[in-house]
Structure 1
């Protein structure tokens, strides 16, 4: 008994019970078109166009917008290149093959298309894993990550996401069939010859999706826990900093206000003898009392920013000096030129960039899991129990669904990074780009 199954992104194989399958991609004889055919015929070109435009736009704005050429965005461009090829170029030939139910382009084009498709789809999984590794290191080893946060290091990490697929799929798709180890697949069929051999098929499914996806999900759990732990620590530091700052302001205000009161007392003592009686009687005047009560008035102004209307009549006497004290304290506590303030701004900027990168990773990971998990489960079931897998059209649709992540990722960049969003809108609206 034989059943048609499509295993790895366009690989149709006929599996018998002893796992010695024969490829089949022959046209149907009755010319019947299933609903899955019409769904893909409509959605296929649309998704293909969105993928091409979206990922080309990512690469273009990165190359032309200086502010986008950051360490983190190099990883996103590396992923965009893989998405552009795997989701915007190779699926075009697969759509034609599926509609014709045969491969019309010859053996050489088939081999190249299968090889490039596998290489860049695998690269999308590994690029997501690489981004997750970078986020994990940034959150758990921030000092070391900061030292290594260079463009050279980013390119070095990205290269692994392309070298590993090259090492894996070059033998499986090109060397083994053309050296006679596995049988060559000839038109009108087009698929990877490794799918005809059970051990190679299991290996291909594992390294293509399951291993990178499980590793990324596991590592992301640690990233998420590190983000929560860092948020709690940051809130605690902020509260401590505010407490210290307010204590500093209050202490300085008390000292300065006491000095003003003492200065006023010395002036009263230096008055002439004939004015002493008038000076003595003036102590009962509300204006003199205001010198003593000016301390809580000034503190309330500093702490709450509320003007005390009950002491406006004394502004000409001591209000000018107190305002100068307040302004001096404000300049010393919140001074953009102070090293502490600059350090705080740099720390805040790094934290904001880290949160944006983590949010981008979250969107990318969710899209990857949603698009790739259905195919991964069905492919695993096809290996374990070939007779329990769904129909071929459903399997083809699940394999096509994997490419949707390539179309969705540019939207993830725009949703998580305002700079990408502004750059996209400037280009799409034919506006001027911020450089």
Structure 2
């Protein structure tokens, strides 16, 4: 917005002859101003166009909440296109050279676009507040129709704030006086100054401050709750692991006990069978008492490595079958004991990773909110303080350079908005890279 003019501070423009003509500032300052402010205008236009195109061309960004970002980008883009170039010329010349009608259109566009930008910031704050404090219900209410109605309300309210000077609530000079003074300034009517500054800045500032404090408190509380839940999950995971290990040890011990019982039973059964065989063939046992020595016995070697005990192959087969069955049961039991442990471990790792990502996002969101509020206050508070103080303070006469600096500090917010709202968002960065043709982005 262009600052209102205190009638007692009508300083004559400078008279510097340059290659660009007679200017209000020296030639070097004029070129520096053109380069610096021209760069700001260019960045503002490019940044906000990228935001608009990114939302409509990159699928992950085509979500309802991002419509507020598009509305903000449109407001900032209109500031860069309709307001800033004429302000550069006005700042260098020190006088308005485009007639009274273009002056009125420029001032109205200035108030309208800057107010829309600020009110869109306020709408974004309210949207995020509802999404954080009442996520389930608000997710159902956050429809395209409702969001579009909120955006229309923002622009209608901006028009309501900017239009009164066009219907007479102003102290603009008539055509003759305007042509003589060549000054294009906002109305300094005290009533309109209070009305416009309240609707354009102070009320939105109060709302945004309260909302962002509530968001910060809610985010901090959720961070603490999630940190506490993470510790509980770690304790639960450790206890689960200890319980699984205990089950594993008990399973293996039980299997070994069962195996020992089975082997003892088989040994006793084998002894009983051997005793019965001895009762049936006492002569054979007496003739060859070394038949139980096995394949390494001299008798076995003498007979070509074949045992004379007909029950040996059967006993060997039983032992082999028993050992194989024991190995199979042991393996299955270990798998039953270990696989649930691995499964639970994987689930806990997944939950912890999701919590870690969520905590990181919430910390980043909290930091972003602080940056948003800080930049907004730094950019616009000096201007609106000057805007309100000067009409009520006849002795306050800020220099034109100070007025231009404070005015452009507010305009810079339109350049920083697309940077702040997108630099912390991976999807916006990917969309920008895709639009700019950076390789590796699909």
The interval holding the TM-score normalised by the smaller chain is 0.7 to 0.9
Does structure 1 conserve the Cα–Cα contact (< 8 Å) formed by 2:6 and 2:390? Answer: no
- Conserved? CA contact 1:85–1:117, under 8 Å: no
Label 1:67 to 1:154 Cα distance change in 2 as closer, same or farther (>3 A): same
> CA 1:366 to 1:88, structure 2 compared with 1: closer, same or farther past 3 Å?
farther
The answer as to whether partners of 1:256 and 1:325 remain within 8 angstroms in 2 is: yes
- In the alignment, the residues of structure 1 paired with residue 133 and residue 221 of structure 2 have an alpha-carbon distance, to the nearest angstrom, of 10
Q: CA deviation at 1:167?
A: 1.6
2:422 maps to which residue? 414
Q: 1:224 aligns with which of 211, 216, 219?
A: 216
**Which residue number in structure 1 is paired with residue 296 of structure 2?**
none
Q: 2:259 aligns with which of 247, 252, 267?
A: 267
Structure 1 residues 274 and 124: CA distance shift in structure 2, 3 A: closer
- The answer for the alignment partner of 2:234 in structure 1 is 242
Q: CA deviation at 1:266?
A: 1.7
- Alignment partner of 1:322 is 2:334: yes
Residue deviations 1:321-368, cap 9 Å, x none? Answer: 4255322332255359xxx979x9988887766665554433332221
C-alpha separation in 2, matches of 1:367 and 1:223: 17
Conserved 8 A contact 2:382-2:406: yes
**Pairing partner for 2:243 from 242, 248, 251:** 251
Contact persistence 1:25–1:190 (CA under 8 A):
no
Structure 1 residue aligned with 2:45:
52
* SS of equivalent residue, structure 2 residue 370: helix
Work out the CA distance in 1 between the residues paired with 2:336 and 2:350.
22
In structure 1, runs of 5+ residues without a counterpart are 1-8, 277-314
> Which of 51, 63, 69 is the equivalent residue of 2:62?
69
The 2-side partners of 1:163 and 1:14 are apart by: 29
Unmatched 5+ stretches in structure 2: 18-23, 269-326
Shift of 1:128: 1.3
Return the alpha-carbon distance in structure 2 between the equivalents of residues 182 and 387 of structure 1: 19
Corresponding residue SS for 1:271: helix
**In 2, Cα distance between the equivalents of 1:191 and 1:46?**
24
Q: What pairs up with 1:17-416 in 2 under 5 angstroms? A: 27-29=13-15, 33=25, 37=30, 39-172=32-165, 174-176=166-168, 183=172, 186=175, 188=179, 189=182, 191=184, 194-195=187-188, 197-272=189-264, 275=267, 318=330, 321-332=333-344, 334-335=346-347, 357-416=365-424
In structure 2, C-alpha distance between the alignment counterparts of 1:392 and 1:122, rounded to whole Å: 23
Per-residue CA deviation, residues 370-396 of structure 1 (Å, 9 max, x unaligned), is: 211222232233134232342122112
Cα distance in 1, alignment partners of residues 158 and 411 from structure 2 = 17
For normalisation by structure 1, the TM-score amounts to 0.74
RMSD of Structure 2 on Structure 1 (CA): 3.6
Alpha-carbon distance in 2 for matches of 1:268, 1:366: 76
Question: In 1, distance between residues paired with 2:263 and 2:406?
Answer: 97
Q: CA deviation at 1:417?
A: 0.8
Query: Aligned equivalents of 1:214 and 1:50: distance in 2?
Result: 29
> In the TM superposition, what is the alpha-carbon distance from 1:183 to its structure 2 partner?
4.7
- Partner secondary structure for residue 263 of structure 2: coil
Tell me the distance in 2 between the aligned counterparts of 1:370 and 1:82. Answer: 19
Superposition deviation, residue 432 in structure 1 = 6.5
* Partner SS state of residue 233, structure 2: helix
How far the C-alpha of 1:238 sits from its partner, in A, is: 2.0
Q: 1:162 to 1:380 in 2, by over 3 A?
A: same
CA–CA separation in structure 2 for the residues paired with 1:348 and 1:141: 22
Q: Deviations over 1:154-193 (max 9, x none)?
A: 3233333212111221223x2226xxx7556545446466
